[in-house]
Amino acid sequence: MDEVLPQIEQSVLILVGSEDKLLGADDYEKFHCLLAREQLEIIEESGHFVYLDSPEIISKKIVTFTRGGKE
């Protein structure tokens, strides 16, 4: 992963559940450091599977991201 992530040039949206028990803050910090163009969104009261815990919020975040930050 350390060799592959820095090669990604496309913008990346990272959606993280604040209650994620599988990956911790250190893991997401590593992604942040290795990806050139990333946007980290922490979704409150969600676990590792944020798309199941908060589907409406996730949908809005993805739409906003794909529109270049415009709702």
pTM for this model (two decimals):
0.81
pLDDT for 70 = 61
Paired tokens of 56: 């409406």
pLDDT tens digits, one per residue of 14-23: 999 999 999 8
Q: Give domain limits for the chain.
A: 5-66
Distance CA 3, CA 40 (A): 20
71: pLDDT strictly greater than 70: no
Neighbouring C-alpha atoms within 13 Å toward the C-beta of 64: 13
